[in-house]
């Protein structure tokens, strides 16, 4: 499916790119509070959770982000440093991040990064247990940098995913989320995004999200069902994100993925100011710069004016 260009200007697309990346971080920071809680526990403790207050099982500061945002930043920084796609550079950024003793790191991600450290391997072997959401949560820089080139999106999505997760459903979810961000960046209508979600369900019926069963675990199927259900049943960024994070489970990651799609779709003015202001200012500044770089570099990459680095 090709990206439908509306009459949006490039400036609007750049603004949506910022909103996608910032929306992802906002979802991470908001959802981290309710990660691993049940909806009932959340209701009992917070009523409706809708403030970036930190805490949670990681005892975060308000506005602090977790691995979802940090791994996305690793990919974005590597693309900028290389002026293109260099999987080895991304892997080195993951290693440096893991050595920095991050507040949280998923078991599958840690295993993949260790594998690279010890063997230099850039691809984990296929594994039936790798259908977690850890590769999807870091898709926003890939989507921004490949805007306008669906084939490139599919290739880079799978390559970055396989550093840690190698499973066809994780791959399919990465590509679908990337395509949805592409559509939204170009001002695509909700129907276009629904079509993309529908294509994923057609290929992998497990992802069917109607009726929504309420599972929001780190299993990529549960994760995307949660994101799709709340994105398609709400009309604002805030309602979508509040719905997602009050579902609990892997709430920071469902929040991050919903935030990248809803951010691109509703734009920067759609993200509540109070949430953007709460976000760790260093993260907010770096994300804004990187989002601008990535989306502006994208057409150059596509035109071959910036060539992806040669394979190692």
Give dist(CA 279, CA 233) in Å, integer: 26
Smallest gap from residue 245 Cβ to Mn ion (A): 11
Look at residue 219 and give its three-state secondary structure: strand
- Which stretch in 58-66, 141-149, 262-270, 283-291 sits in contact with Mn ion by CB under 5 A? 58-66
Measured from the CB atom, the residue of 216 and 253 that comes closer to Mn ion is 253
x/- letters, 193..232, toward Mn ion (CB under 5 A): ----------------------------------------
Among 13, 16, 60, 67, binds Mn ion (CB under 5 A): 67
Q: Does 15 bind Mn ion (CB under 5 A)?
A: no
Smallest gap from residue 21 Cβ to Mn ion (A): 16
Give dist(CA 173, CA 54) in Å, integer: 28
Among 24, 60, 68, 154, binds Mn ion (CB under 5 A): 68
Give dist(CA 193, CA 245) in Å, integer: 21
Smallest gap from residue 134 Cβ to Mn ion (A): 8
- Which stretch in 62-70, 187-195, 201-209, 280-288 sits in contact with Mn ion by CB under 5 A? 62-70
Phi, psi of 230 (to 5 degrees): -75, -35
Smallest gap from residue 206 Cβ to Mn ion (A): 20
Listed in sequence order, the residues at least 6 apart from 308 whose beta carbon sits closer than 8 Å to its beta carbon are 82, 84, 85, 86, 301
Give dist(CA 79, CA 74) in Å, integer: 9
Q: Does 252 bind Mn ion (CB under 5 A)?
A: yes
Smallest gap from residue 202 Cβ to Mn ion (A): 28
- Which stretch in 39-47, 143-151, 237-245, 252-260 sits in contact with Mn ion by CB under 5 A? 252-260
Q: Which residue sits closest to Mn ion, CB atoms considered? A: 66
CB atoms within 10 A of CB 38: 14
Q: Does 253 bind Mn ion (CB under 5 A)?
A: yes
Within positions 88 to 107, which residues make up the interface with Mn ion, using CB under 5 A?
none
Look at residue 54 and give its three-state secondary structure: coil
Smallest gap from residue 130 Cβ to Mn ion (A): 16
Q: Does 66 bind Mn ion (CB under 5 A)?
A: yes
Listed in sequence order, the residues at least 6 apart from 163 whose beta carbon sits closer than 8 Å to its beta carbon are 87, 90, 91, 94, 112, 113, 116, 122, 123, 124
Positions that interact with Mn ion (CB under 5 A): 66-68, 250, 252-253
């Amino acid at each position: 499916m090709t990206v439908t260009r509306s009459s949006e200007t490039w400036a609007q697309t750049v603004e949506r790119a910022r909103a996608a990346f910032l929306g992802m971080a906002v979802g991470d920071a908001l959802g981290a509070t309710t990660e691993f809680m049940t909806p009932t526990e959340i209701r009992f403790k917070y009523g409706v959770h809708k403030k970036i207050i930190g805490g949670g099982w990681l005892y975060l500061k308000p506005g602090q982000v977790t691995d979802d945002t940090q791994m996305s930043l690793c990919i974005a920084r590597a693309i900028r440093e290389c002026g293109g796609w260099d999987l080895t550079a991304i892997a080195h950024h993951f290693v440096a991040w893991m050595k920095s003793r991050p507040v949280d790191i998923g078991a599958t991600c840690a295993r993949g990064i260790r594998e690279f450290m010890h063997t230099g391997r850039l691809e984990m072997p296929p594994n039936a247990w790798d259908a977690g959401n850890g590769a999807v949560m870091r898709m926003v820089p890939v989507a921004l940098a490949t805007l306008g080139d669906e084939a490139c999106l599919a290739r880079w999505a799978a390559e970055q995913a396989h550093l840690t997760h190698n499973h066809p459903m994780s791959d399919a979810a990465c590509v679908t989320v990337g395509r949805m961000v592409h559509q939204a960046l170009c001002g695509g209508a909700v129907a276009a995004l629904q079509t993309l979600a529908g294509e994923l369900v057609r290929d992998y019926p497990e992802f069917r999200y109607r009726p929504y069963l309420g599972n929001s675990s780190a299993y990529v199927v549960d994760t995307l069902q949660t994101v799709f259900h709340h994105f398609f049943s709400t009309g604002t960024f805030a309602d979508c994100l509040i719905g997602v994070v009050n579902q609990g489970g892997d709430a920071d990651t469902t929040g991050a993925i919903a935030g990248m799609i809803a951010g691109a779709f509703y734009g920067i003015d759609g993200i509540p100011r109070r949430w953007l202001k709460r976000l760790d200012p260093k993260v907010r500044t770096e994300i804004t710069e990187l989002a601008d770089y990535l989306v502006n570099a994208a057409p150059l990459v596509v035109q071959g004016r910036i060539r992806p680095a040669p394979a190692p």
